[in-house]
Structure 1
Amino acid sequence: MGYIIWLGDDGSRDVSFVGGKAASLGHLVSAGMPVPRGFVLSSEAYERVITSCGIDRLIKSGASPREIREAIKSCDLPDEIKEELKLAYEKLGGVPVAVRSSATVEDTSAAAFAGQYETVLDVKGVDDVIRAVKICYASVWGDRVVDYREKRGISHNEVKMAVLVQEMVHPDISGVMFTANPISGRRNETVINAIKGIGELMVSGLKTPEVYVVRHSWLRMSVVEHTVGDDGDILSPRWAYRLATMGQKLEDYFGTYQDVEWAIKDKKLYILQSRPITTLPIPKLKMNIAKLNAFRIISEMLTRRPYPAEGDFMNIVFRDAVIMPFAPLGIRVGGVRKNMLIWKNGMPAVLDYFLWTTPHGVAEFIVTPMLPFAPLTLIVKGLIASAKDWKKDPMVKKTEDVKADIERYVPKTPKERLFYIKKAMQMTTIAGKLRSKYLYSSMLHFALLRVWLKVMKKEHHLGTLAFTGLDTVITRSNRELEKLADMIRKNEYLRELFEKHTAQELVSIINTDKRAEDFRRAFDKFLREYGYREAGSVLYMSDGMWIDKPEVPLQILKGLVIGEGSIGDDSVYENALMEVMSHPLMKVPFFRKRFVHTLMNARQFQVLREDTRYMAMIPSHFLRHMYLDMGKSLYDKGFISSPEDIFFIRFHEVVKDEKTMAKIIQDRKKLWHKLEKLPFIDISPLKQETTADDNVIITGIPGSPGVGRGKVCVIRSQDEFDKMEEGAILVAPYTTPAWTPLFALASGVVVDTGGPLSHAAIVAREYGIPAVMGTGEATKVLKDGMYVEVDGTKGVVRRGE
């Protein structure tokens, strides 16, 4: 390969080869965006020049940036580079061109050297192009650039310069566009600056631009601010909307907010540059109830910054199993970037706050014209498929087939690894399709159940009838856990083992002790059937599952055995059902039959939600093992310091060679440590206003009614499950189905995150214990041993007597 790469060719998207600016344009050309024709003189040419002209020796000698710049400008480029430049320029037609710097460390979401490298405009003739190339090379050693690199810990040796040569556009109007408001931080506003002629006059401050602020609201765009600049009213609202629409396309393509340079010539729009916005303020989070409920659900699942591989996994889960099922109601997947994360250099940096900061909530970004017809869609789809029959659907069998395939398949080559990922994630996609087909029926019948109960004046039983006593994969696994606990209680030797040893020690003992052989067989059978429950948070692939970490269910069994607890019964549901069925209306066979039909379908909402979630998470186990196999190979060869570092590699990067992956991991680990100071998710919106009651310590939202008293037991992770004591108040940052057995011991539950439909609230209602959700700070304020009163009806925690 020579030194010239044309925009749109395969190599034009490789940052290490063509630099950040050109790589961005290479992507745009490949995506069919309107970009002026051009080519790139690769970074390898820069290295050749630095060596052939002796600049490398000058750098090593400690020469000043000024001396290095002058040496570059005065050196003669190697003949082969000059010849390739001449041929490429002639192929472009010998037209006037813009010669732009494109460094290998620029225009990323971690750092943007905006305006610090050189650009030479309106260059004519080969000799002037060569001269402009040397000016771009010299700008690597500009005083401000050197200072910028040193402040950000970027090594001078890491930087190589490619040079972008593009056909010069002499614009009628040009400017810059930010696809999110850089002043207010509003993610639903595009800010457009425009002047007559070349945009550099605006950037340099020589002209005051015309300014448009375009807000994306529901089904339309609107201009919310317009200021005329030095050139007068030059950009029509129609062009502002067209630019804002293009900005949305660029956002969707790159997966983050963009700083865009654009030009209009003869009524044709050109994109000159598009790079990530590196600094964007987080606006004050003002949430209505819809946004707050969505935020509670998300914050409960995202308990820490995910690794890049986990970010890819959760994006697919979020897209296929959370958003896609509701597309028929008018919710659009494409509007949620990729998908709810802001990425920096391949690292999930923060949760994308655009979801919460728009005036009308999430819907502002992701609705379509179908939304007004949502009630009709709900009714029609709700009548087409019956939720109570969802387990008979052939798609359920399809998931079992996919699971069997990935259990047998062992990927050996990079391409096979990528195929394995796509194959495994089919289970998540199928789970989403099942939800799309049957959730509408359960939602429709839930609404009808509410009407039935209102007519009978039994509305207070709605939550109990719909969400307790259900037959889900979680409740079945809990019943099996109870059987195992009973097996241990009845065997004096096993009981003694569980009382004396830690869960981690029990893993080894059970596998080697012949006296525990019957239990081991029963436990192994349990793991084969129910081992795909998360060992950590639901979306974190690296945390593993019960089948990967048997010490987790063993820890739960320790608590059940020692505490003599049980994992609930169906009495709460049965008592509520008996009361409702005793109503005179239910004596009429026709009404009774219709009510039972409604109830059975409504109850499937939570069953379908839990079982398809379990189904959607199964790929996590298999992908974790594939990743760890890759990590072990890299670790054994000395490329990385721990096999777990492999989770810094994203899904699409598993095809890369081991040296490249090792370099990616090294770079991302550095960024990971820098991001540690930045909270991944801000849960401050969950903090509730305090009440006038002096005894109230914590305020949240009601999750399960009733009042419970006891000593606080703060449990932050599954590693602390053995702390739980019978009768204690369970205080947790979040809960997942893995936490369910703890509810058997608790007299009340208080959680930092979540809402009435979160796991903790649903399980608490099933156990008949009070729960306060979404407190935002319970694990910080409440301390182990404090005696408190949990009022799940009012959503408060008071000091105990």
Structure 2
Amino acid sequence: MNTALEFSEIDASMLAQVGGKAANLGEMTRAGLPVPPGWVLTTDAYRQVAEAAALDEVIAEGGPGLAAAARERLLATPVPEPVAKAVTAAYERLGGGPVAVRSSATAEDLPFASFAGQQDTYLNVVGAEAVLDAVRRCWASLWTDRAVAYRASNGIDHASVRLAVVVQAMVQAEVAGVMFTADPLTGRRHRAVIDAGPGLGEAVVSGAVNPDRFVADPATGEILERRAGDKRVVIRSLPGGGTERLDRTGSSDELCLTDAQVRELAALGARVERHYGAPQDTEWAVDASGALWLTQARPITTLFPLPAPDRDGLRVHFSVNVAQGVMGPLTPMGLAGFQLAASGAAGLFGYAPADPRQGPAFMSVAGERLWLDLTTAVRSRAGRVILPKALTLGEARTAAVLDGLFDDPRLSVVHTSRRPFLKGFARFARTVRAPVRVLEALFSPRAALAYTRRLGDELDRRLRVPDDATPVQRVEHAERLLRGAFPVIISIMPIVITGYGLFALASRLSGVPIADMQSVLRSLPGNPTTEMDLELWELATRIEPEPFRELPAGELARRYRAGELPPKAQRGVEDFLRRYGHRGVAEIDLGLPRWSEDPAHILGVLANYLRMDDPGDLAPSVLFARGEAEARRAVEEIAARARRRGALRGAVTRFALRRTRLFGGLRELPKYYLVKILAGVRRSMLVVGERLVAAGLLDEAGDVFFLRFQEVREASAALEADAAPRSEEPADRTAPSALDLRERVAARRAAYEQEARRRHVPRVMLSDGTEPEAVAAARSGSSGPADALTGTAASAGTVTGPARVVLDPVGAHLEPGEILVCPSTDPGWTPLFLTAGGLVMEMGGAMSHGAVVAREYGIPAVVGVADATHRITTGRQLTVNGASGTITLT
């Protein structure tokens, strides 16, 4: 095997042989891009050295000393003679002059992990012996602490990674730097963002210098920004090899690139991006003759994928995941379920899609997450009035972002008529019988509440699937349930809206601002999430405390499944899961397990409750009763203030607030019923998955959630056709094979796991990739004082206590009085609320799930706090003012 390959012999398919950097350099060379000539020492050379160093033994031992032990072994192992000869010969063929020696790992410059800067580069290397030494040090750099940690965080197996080494003719640069073909901060595509400094590019790449910055539009050649850096550090080549660092005094306002050079760079970046079909992070250099060279290119891995990039004109997309408090990705079947339900919702307004499986036209998928296209609303008069008000209640930060977009001339109002909105709303009102529901809520509250219970009973009936149903019948049943879910459960909302509408009326009649009426919303009856949390607390008060105080959640779950918990605990948990086992963390994704399947989270919460000392007056049940009494007093006080304005005002205000309390808690009921539907579909699809496993089409039943319903239906239909008596006419076999299904599952599971590692999800994104919130932050230049954070006031009250930053509720423990700081919440988080002293949330608005539950529990809460989980650390003392929306770090 040839261990040294010229760039012209390399293409993108040779990643395993030459690593990411060399594959890109070979690809660019073959594409005719200006790449300095060079060659690569393949991964086979590294394999030989790694085997001689017995590196597999070091990797198998693992442990905190892995990186240092692996480096030591590699550096102590001699380079095999055939490899040394190949290096010397290739170096001489290149001309024997100064070269750059760069690491090129097989897990490098990938679409999901660039590994930029994780391995070493050596510049201006002169002489064969020096090249060999640089090669050895590149091999060892695969095992730096930072490289090992980066692989671990990206889920890449250490034993699977190999290293090639690039040797490239040295460009003696007069000016060099980096160029992104999309703005890495705002996400805006088709923007050349260039950092440049005098001398070699190492000063810019390593961050040793404040470079000149240029931003250009490659399409027009317009230079949008020029900003001079101080350029106090210059790295230059030394005549005999190596480099020197020169520290310059003072600063220079003179730019190191001319406008013509900036335009040439931008045009070159556009060529590279077109070749790869994706935005690129490049390194470049300009030599003394003025020639422009590309020395590296890799994908920009931090950019979020574009939702529906093929739509005409600038579009505005809003993250459904953010709105639902689920920042991670959804499984393919979870996405498909949401698209079916959304198709049913669109039909209520007269916009049902031709194919319900594809979802409505205003919904798209990007980054394994769901997005809503809000462009029509943003560009209409009615939408600009309604959308911010609606979002202020559930996602206040998004409302502020959209408000900023209204001034963008590219998103000017083009839909001036209110007729389409009124027509759609009228259709919706007729379909869900909104006038009847409102009248019942006003004048026959028992009938209104009975209606919500009947819906639950009807839902339970619809969820039943005969045990002998075929897989195809189960898929058809699941699709019918999901398509019909939204029209059924949303019919509760006119009742809820009536309750909150009367709340606003009471404010107007009494003269009391809504912000001062929040006590009325304490301890609302009828909220299924609150009832669930209180039942879990009550269960903790009557079961045997052992073994909960001693054993981890995993062992408790094992004992529960084996029926080995103490009798009261076993029966109590069974009863709780019989009623609430359909719930879970990130429960909007039907592809994720429910508590009934994996009760470890709930058993862990019970264990946390049982480890607490006697809470006395701070027990959640006591606090809830106290909140209920406080709410009744608030109703009477507000009614009394209204009575001072007139007896009729007082009577209507009391009536209105009592109705608010009666119906306000039902806000959570539609989602509760939706989750029931999703859980029912999940149970049925697991049965289908088991049959596909039995037929050899899948490896495990849960793999079915990495397929779409149509794919499962086709595979199931093929199985049924095979089982049926053969007819003379051959069956139409369009179903995927077992190999196809397994490959799809593997690819989609990998994409899902990759997206699960993504640390940032935009809440609003434009179709050109711009994240408006990032643009606003860049303009302000600061996210505020270090000792104060602001957000949306969500639950009145002030509390001071230590912070507990929680990114995942599973296994989390919250001491009484600690302030829960989290990205967002769904009902799977709320058992933690029972012991929380306060709540700080990055997402949400005054009517978002976490805010509603916090008010009901009387927990001071501030939501919509940007970067709260990064700016606050566990143990930091906070003062949360839930009335003003401020958090003070003490």
Question: TM-score under structure 2 normalisation?
Answer: 0.50
Equivalent in the alignment of 1:738: 828
Summarize the alignment of residues 426-445 of structure 1 with structure 2, pairs less than 5 Å apart. 428-429=485-486, 431-435=488-492, 437-445=494-502
Equivalent in the alignment of 1:252: none
Q: Does 1:713 align with 2:804?
A: yes
CA distance in 1 between counterparts of 2:507 and 2:347 reads: 26
Equivalent in the alignment of 2:532: 477
Q: Does 1:311 align with 2:318?
A: no
- In structure 2, the CA distance between the partners of 1:754 and 1:579, relative to structure 1 (3 Å rule), is closer
Equivalent in the alignment of 1:791: 881
Equivalent in the alignment of 1:624: 682
CA distance in 2 between counterparts of 1:692 and 1:437 reads: 39
Shift of 1:406: 3.2
Shift of 1:686: 6.3
Check whether the contact 1:499–1:558 (CA below 8 A) recurs between aligned residues.
Answer: yes
What are the ranges of 5 or more consecutive residues in structure 2 without an aligned counterpart? 1-110, 112-186, 191-305, 388-412, 717-734, 764-770
Partner SS, residue 702 of structure 1: strand
Partner SS, residue 660 of structure 1: coil
Aligned residue among 660, 680, 688 for 2:736: 660
Partner SS, residue 879 of structure 2: strand
Offset from partner CA, 1:260-294 (integer Å, 9 cap, x none): xxxxxxxxxxxxxxxx99855999998xxxx9xx8
Aligned residue among 510, 513, 536 for 1:453: 510
Shift of 1:613: 1.5
CA distance in 2 between counterparts of 1:425 and 1:350 reads: 16
Check whether the contact 1:648–1:665 (CA below 8 A) recurs between aligned residues.
Answer: no
Summarize the alignment of residues 103-502 of structure 1 with structure 2, pairs less than 5 Å apart. 279=309, 298-320=322-344, 327=349, 338=360, 341-343=363-365, 348=368, 351-352=371-372, 354=374, 358-359=378-379, 369=419, 371=421, 383-386=438-441, 388-389=445-446, 391-393=448-450, 396-397=453-454, 399-404=456-461, 406-407=463-464, 409-410=466-467, 412-425=469-482, 428-429=485-486, 431-435=488-492, 437-454=494-511, 457=512, 459-466=514-521, 468-488=523-543, 494-502=544-552
Equivalent in the alignment of 2:722: none
Whichever residue aligns with residue 736 of structure 2, its letter is T
Shift of 1:704: 2.1
Equivalent in the alignment of 1:700: 791
- In structure 2, the CA distance between the partners of 1:507 and 1:671, relative to structure 1 (3 Å rule), is closer
- In structure 2, the CA distance between the partners of 1:315 and 1:697, relative to structure 1 (3 Å rule), is farther
Check whether the contact 2:518–2:796 (CA below 8 A) recurs between aligned residues.
Answer: no
CA distance in 2 between counterparts of 1:529 and 1:372 reads: 40
- In structure 2, the CA distance between the partners of 1:349 and 1:434, relative to structure 1 (3 Å rule), is closer
Equivalent in the alignment of 2:612: 563
- In structure 2, the CA distance between the partners of 1:624 and 1:184, relative to structure 1 (3 Å rule), is same
Partner SS, residue 342 of structure 1: strand
Equivalent in the alignment of 2:559: 509
- In structure 2, the CA distance between the partners of 1:302 and 1:390, relative to structure 1 (3 Å rule), is farther
CA distance in 2 between counterparts of 1:554 and 1:782 reads: 28
Equivalent in the alignment of 2:601: 552
Partner SS, residue 306 of structure 1: coil
- In structure 2, the CA distance between the partners of 1:655 and 1:679, relative to structure 1 (3 Å rule), is farther
Shift of 1:485: 0.9
Offset from partner CA, 1:162-207 (integer Å, 9 cap, x none): xxxxxxxxxxxxxxxxxxxxx9999xxxxxxxxxxxxxxxxxxxxx
Q: Which segment drifts farther, 623-632 or 506-515?
A: 506-515
- In structure 2, the CA distance between the partners of 1:297 and 1:631, relative to structure 1 (3 Å rule), is closer
Check whether the contact 2:587–2:594 (CA below 8 A) recurs between aligned residues.
Answer: no
Whichever residue aligns with residue 475 of structure 1, its letter is T
Offset from partner CA, 1:633-671 (integer Å, 9 cap, x none): 334554334432211222233321266174255236425
Equivalent in the alignment of 1:670: 747
Partner SS, residue 835 of structure 2: coil
CA distance in 1 between counterparts of 2:314 and 2:612 reads: 45
Offset from partner CA, 1:333-355 (integer Å, 9 cap, x none): 669963654248xx946624555
Check whether the contact 1:297–1:755 (CA below 8 A) recurs between aligned residues.
Answer: no
CA distance in 2 between counterparts of 1:707 and 1:503 reads: 33
CA distance in 2 between counterparts of 1:408 and 1:348 reads: 30
CA distance in 2 between counterparts of 1:579 and 1:406 reads: 41
Q: Does 1:529 align with 2:549?
A: no
CA distance in 1 between counterparts of 2:453 and 2:737 reads: 37
Shift of 1:710: 2.2
- In structure 2, the CA distance between the partners of 1:660 and 1:735, relative to structure 1 (3 Å rule), is same
Check whether the contact 2:329–2:369 (CA below 8 A) recurs between aligned residues.
Answer: yes
Partner SS, residue 576 of structure 2: helix
Shift of 1:579: 4.1
Partner SS, residue 709 of structure 1: strand
Shift of 1:618: 0.5
Shift of 1:739: 1.9
Question: TM-score under structure 1 normalisation?
Answer: 0.55
Whichever residue aligns with residue 524 of structure 1, its letter is E
Check whether the contact 1:628–1:644 (CA below 8 A) recurs between aligned residues.
Answer: yes
Shift of 1:758: 1.0
Check whether the contact 1:750–1:772 (CA below 8 A) recurs between aligned residues.
Answer: yes
Shift of 1:612: 2.1
Shift of 1:470: 2.7
- In structure 2, the CA distance between the partners of 1:423 and 1:396, relative to structure 1 (3 Å rule), is farther
- In structure 2, the CA distance between the partners of 1:408 and 1:184, relative to structure 1 (3 Å rule), is closer
- In structure 2, the CA distance between the partners of 1:783 and 1:295, relative to structure 1 (3 Å rule), is same
CA distance in 1 between counterparts of 2:820 and 2:811 reads: 12
Check whether the contact 1:510–1:516 (CA below 8 A) recurs between aligned residues.
Answer: no
Shift of 1:610: 0.9
Check whether the contact 2:846–2:852 (CA below 8 A) recurs between aligned residues.
Answer: yes
Identity of aligned residues (%): 19
- In structure 2, the CA distance between the partners of 1:438 and 1:671, relative to structure 1 (3 Å rule), is same
CA distance in 2 between counterparts of 1:682 and 1:789 reads: 28
CA distance in 1 between counterparts of 2:595 and 2:337 reads: 19
Check whether the contact 1:704–1:770 (CA below 8 A) recurs between aligned residues.
Answer: yes
Shift of 1:487: 0.6
Check whether the contact 1:342–1:351 (CA below 8 A) recurs between aligned residues.
Answer: yes
Shift of 1:570: 3.5
Shift of 1:356: 9.4
Aligned residue among 661, 668, 685 for 1:610: 668
Equivalent in the alignment of 1:94: none
Shift of 1:451: 1.8
Summarize the alignment of residues 632-781 of structure 1 with structure 2, pairs less than 5 Å apart. 632-657=690-715, 660=736, 662=738, 663-664=740-741, 666-667=743-744, 669-670=746-747, 673=750, 676=754, 681-683=761-763, 694-696=785-787, 698-721=789-812, 723-781=813-871
Partner SS, residue 875 of structure 2: coil
Q: Does 1:601 align with 2:659?
A: yes
Shift of 1:440: 4.6
CA distance in 2 between counterparts of 1:324 and 1:595 reads: 37
Number of matched pairs: 508
Offset from partner CA, 1:224-276 (integer Å, 9 cap, x none): xxxxxxxxxxxxxxxxxxxxxxxxxxxxxxxxxxxxxxxxxxxxxxxxxxxx9
CA distance in 1 between counterparts of 2:462 and 2:877 reads: 52
Partner SS, residue 480 of structure 1: helix
